[in-house]
């Protein structure tokens, strides 16, 4: 079974506003509500690709109940721990101005609820897959991802971490199967500026030396690079298509990679599935459906021949 963890789930309110003006009343031309958070996004894409998963994390208040209801309506097995006080967050995404969003803070997570999650994760079995993705609330120590991997280290669990800064670097000693920094996050980790693809390979290999098995670096419109555990480097340009949605593309890449790896245990196939899923979501109104991913995958395979 695949388990995804989202510490700070959200209800994503995605709106389009024509001719947005500061200081004025603006009216939406379209709006959608989706369950959000990186781990949940991974679970949704996995569901679209035919892979079952259980989404773990914390929810609070009526917003939390709506997140749970929406996730289950999509077909995700939502098993969130209920927080008694506060509300889960609402994130506002302004689709018509790319990259513009306002993200809520979310509830404070009591220590006993964190312990409950850790105890639940200790029930994972050999062969399970654990995905830790996204930011954490201020009430949770930034060692939490490391603490989780330490607890499951004695089991044969495939671990995936998609996080930034110390959240990511601190887990490397526990040899996660996959990490997925984007180019900007790679630059932040090493405090450098990357201008060439060869530099991405160099710094991804440094993360391997620190413990990561596979390093998948997303580069937006410039494609992606995988430095794999078998010593190979896989490089793909971004597939051609119209950018519709930047939300969840990186999470889709993680899910696509996982589904590809679980299907064939082949790094090249997994990489192409990751790039296809990430790009298909970027070309979609929401997280890509299976047929959209398969269409982009075939495009990648034709260009790779």
Residue of 251, 242, 239 lying closest to 294 (CA atoms): 239
DSSP state of 182: B
Residue 12 annotated to the active site: no
12, 128, 162, 251: which is the annotated catalytic residue? 251
The C-alpha atoms of residue 106 and residue 122 are separated, in whole angstroms, by 25
**Residue 295: which residues within 8 A CB-CB, separation 6 or more?**
280
Burial class of residue 120, CB neighbours in 10 A (0-12, 13-18, 19+): middle
The C-alpha atoms of residue 12 and residue 173 are separated, in whole angstroms, by 34
Residue of 128, 129, 165, 127 lying closest to 146 (CA atoms): 165
Beta bridge partners of 251: none
Interhelix angle 38-48/61-74, rounded to 10 degrees, is 20
8 A C-beta contact, residue 64 and residue 87 = yes
8 A C-beta contact, residue 205 and residue 227 = yes
Helix-strand-coil split of the chain, %, nearest 5 = 40, 25, 35
Burial class of residue 84, CB neighbours in 10 A (0-12, 13-18, 19+): exposed
The C-alpha atoms of residue 38 and residue 6 are separated, in whole angstroms, by 7
Q: CB atoms < 10 A from the CB of 122, how many?
A: 11
Beta bridge partners of 164: none
Active-site positions?
Answer: 251
């Amino acid at each position: 079974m695949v388990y995804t963890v989202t510490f700070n789930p959200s209800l994503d309110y995605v709106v389009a506003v024509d001719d947005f003006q500061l200081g004025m009343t603006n009216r939406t031309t379209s709006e959608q509500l989706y369950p959000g958070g990186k781990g949940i996004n991974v679970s949704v894409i996995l569901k679209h690709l035919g892979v079952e998963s259980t989404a773990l994390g914390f929810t609070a208040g009526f917003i939390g109940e709506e997140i749970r209801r929406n996730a289950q309506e999509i077909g995700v097995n939502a098993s969130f721990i209920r927080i008694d006080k506060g509300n889960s967050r609402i994130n506002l995404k302004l689709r018509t101005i790319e990259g513009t969003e306002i993200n809520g803070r979310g509830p404070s997570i009591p220590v006993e609820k964190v312990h409950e999650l850790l105890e639940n994760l200790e029930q994972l079995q050999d062969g399970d897959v654990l995905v830790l993705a996204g930011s954490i609330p201020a009430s949770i120590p930034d060692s939490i991802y490391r603490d989780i991997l330490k607890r499951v280290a004695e089991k044969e669990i495939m671990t995936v971490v998609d996080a930034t800064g110390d959240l990511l670097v601190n887990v490397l000693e526990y040899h996660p199967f996959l990490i997925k920094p984007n180019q900007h996050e790679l630059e932040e980790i090493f405090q450098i500026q990357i201008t060439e693809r060869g530099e991405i390979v160099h710094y991804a290999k440094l993360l391997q030396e620190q413990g990561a098995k596979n390093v998948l670096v997303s580069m937006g419109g410039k494609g992606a690079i995988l430095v794999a555990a078998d010593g190979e480097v896989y490089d793909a340009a971004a597939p051609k298509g119209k950018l519709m949605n930047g939300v969840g593309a990186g999470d889709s890449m993680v899910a696509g990679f996982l589904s590809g790896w679980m299907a064939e245990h082949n790094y090249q196939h997994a990489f192409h599935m990751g790039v296809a899923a990430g790009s298909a979501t970027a070309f979609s109104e929401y997280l890509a459906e299976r047929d959209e991913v398969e269409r982009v995958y075939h495009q990648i395979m034709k260009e790779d021949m």
